[in-house]
Amino acid sequence: MNAPLAQGASLEPEVNLQLPGSAAPTLELLSARGDVARVQDGRIVGAGPGVTAILVTDKAGTVLDFYHLWVEKPTRASLHRVETGKDLGEVEGGIDLLVGESVEVEPKVYYETQELAGRISAEWNVEPAIATPMRIGAHGGRRLLATTPGEAQLQVKLGAIELTLPLRVLPVPGSAPHPQTRPFTPNPATTPSAAPSEEPAT
């Protein structure tokens, strides 16, 4: 891992021990400081800023290896476009889609200018609901599926940090207008007409 773990984020560590003359034993992970990081369901979860030792032990509690882990509280976040697992860069200025199109986006958190490690849970909302945020795989990103023409705000809440981006969905060129976007046309049969004026008698 090349960066501190974000507070509130989790990661699945890969532990590779080389024990000459021995097969790999059953391994367990322990955190020396639970206020900095804790081990939960095979994941390491950042609890608070600081540094802790992550101990690699066997079932009997014998320490086989250890490493130090730093945890930082995020100071900012950004939303990135992703395609087939490749980061295409930060989304700036908003997102434009045609009805039926979709785009995959993933949040990233930082301490000042340094990107932090780990998967952080996020709350996603589109208001009004002209697009649907759909889960994709195990990471914290979403695929936004455009469903209705209009303009909305995409809100992504990551703990105490909240991102808001404009989202615009356009109708497919040449398609019939969506019922919500069709202009109102009065029905002549139900629209009262003005009574004919009577000419004064001469």
Q: Is the pLDDT of residue 191 over 50?
A: no
Q: In the CATH scheme, what is the code of domain 76-170? A: 2.60.40.1080
pTM to 2 decimal places = 0.75
| Torsion sign over Cα 74, 78, 79, 81 | negative
pLDDT per position as a tens digit, 119-152: 988 999 999 999 999 998 766 799 999 999 999 9
Q: Which residue has the tokens 């369901």?
A: 41
Q: pLDDT for 74-100, tens place per residue?
A: 999 999 999 887 889 999 999 999 999
- Supply the pLDDT for residue 194: 46
**Cα→Cα distances 138→12, 38, 121, 135, 193, Å:** 12, 20, 11, 8, 62
DSSP symbol at 117: B
- Gyration radius of the chain over CA positions: 28
DSSP secondary-structure letter at 125? E
Q: What's the confidence (pLDDT) of residue 10?
A: 93
Residues of the chain with CATH 2.60.40.1080: 5-72, 76-170
Look up the CATH number of domain 5-72.
2.60.40.1080
